[in-house]
Homo-oligomer: A and B are copies of this chain.
Amino acid sequence: MAGKDLPVSPLMLPMPELPPVPGVRLGTGRAEIRYKAREDVTMMVFPAGTTVAGVFTQNKCPGAPVDWCRAALKGGKARALVVTAGNSNVFTGKAGRETCQQTARAMADLAGCKPNEVFLASTGVIGEKLPTEKLTAALPPLFGSLGEDGWAAAARAIMTTDTFPKGATRTAKIGDATVTVSGIVKGSGMIAPDMATMLCFLATDAKVPAGALQAILKKGVDRSFNCVTVDSDTSTSDTVLLFATGATKHPRVPAEGGPMLRDFARAVSEVLMDLALLVARDGEGAQKLIRIDVTGAVSAKSAHRIAMSIANSPLVKTAIAGEDANWGRIVMAVGKAGEPADRDKLSVGVGGVWMAREGEIVPGYDEAPVVAHMKGREVEIQVDIGLGRGKATVWTCDLTHGYIDINGSYRS
């Protein structure tokens, strides 16, 4: 079974304790869709009035559950979430659409809501029909067992080739009230081996109009998940959903959100950032977490593109795996980004030590502190383009034999 033999990532962080989020009842169960000896279905049920925000893969060949969620999101309301692990329901044609319809209908009957208030996500093999009846049969007993304390189990039940469960939580003030924002995520490549997908689910007890919630989620994802890359491949199923139950009383939030949500938005962003970095820490074969800071670009967008060019360069990533402070490859990756750059104004540093400045190596450059930094689990790269004030930060992991081992073997 996929993932069975993978050693836990050396970059693993222990799962924090996720307290109940008022209004959220959740649980996990077994549908034996692909995995036979573990929980593979996760359910969350929300009270009437729960709003929802979502961000999905930009891949042009999305999975059926992504299509389903995009349509359901138009209503802005959610009463339930059903997640399966083992089969992604991607590239499954009409059968895949029917699986979504039947699952949503079965869940809606249980929760007493409309099918388009049910959200769906699946992760696993591409191109195999999902055995719908196994899934729908598993829902009623699971619905009967829901509770408030299932976050840790849910973080495990959504895993495929992940080597550790991932969660994060924060509290925030809205007026005088304290609300919780908690989330779980799975994914260990932008697409995991045959186990496509990065899935991320957040819930809060705040009462936030869907439009304002969407704006906060979008901004948070742009600064977190959209700044993390493992292997430059974009899953067909990437999904981030944020549910707001409104179970905690606080001053009414206007439709457009506004300053009163500032602390809430901070909490959402922090949870997203924690979760995004956990994905990089569980990147396939990862031995080192890499942070790349680009400054001095002509714009923030340009800085982001340059940073992603470095983060996605196989030559930079293999150099870091080899603990080689190879700044020539960083120069190469800056230059190939296609963004404005001037070799003779460019500076490159590692671990806070500038190695190259203004188009040539720093005179008397001492490699010793850089070599020491490269031997650690967390490596930092600094690039100053020297042209403007645009800056960006992205995270990735190194490219190792482990990545080839995981992705270069047969599916079965």
Contacts and interface: CB of A to CB of B under 8 A. Distances in A.
Number of copies of chain A assembled together = 2
Contact of A91 (B231, B336, B360): B360
B93 A358 contact: yes
A360 B61 contact: no
Interface string A48-77: 000000000011111000000000000000
B196 A334 contact: no
A70 to B, nearest CB: 13
Contacts of A126: 327-329, 331-332
A359 B314 contact: no
A79 to B, nearest CB: 28
Interface string A306-333: 0000001111001101111011110111
B236 A335 contact: yes
A173 to B, nearest CB: 40
B233 A314 contact: yes
A194 interface: yes
A313 B236 CA distance: 14
Contacts of A340: 60
B233 A322 contact: no
Interface residues of A, number: 71
B231 A314 contact: yes
A322 B125 contact: no
Contacts of A321: 404, 408
Contacts of A128: 361
A343 B236 CA distance: 10
B344 A93 contact: yes
A318 B407 contact: yes
B327 A127 contact: yes
Contacts of A361: 91, 127-128
A332 B399 contact: no
Most chain B CB atoms below 10 A, which of A92, A231, A341, A408 = A408
A191 B400 CA distance: 18
A95 interface: yes
A411 B346 CA distance: 22
A265 B126 CA distance: 45
Given A59-B332, A92-B360, 6 more contacts: A59-B336, A60-B343, A194-B328, A234-B336, A314-B314, A400-B408
20 contacts: A59-B335, A60-B335, A61-B331, A62-B335, A90-B328, A90-B331, A91-B361, A92-B360, A126-B327, A126-B332, A127-B327, A191-B332, A196-B328, A232-B313, A232-B314, A234-B336, A236-B335, A324-B410, A326-B411, A399-B404
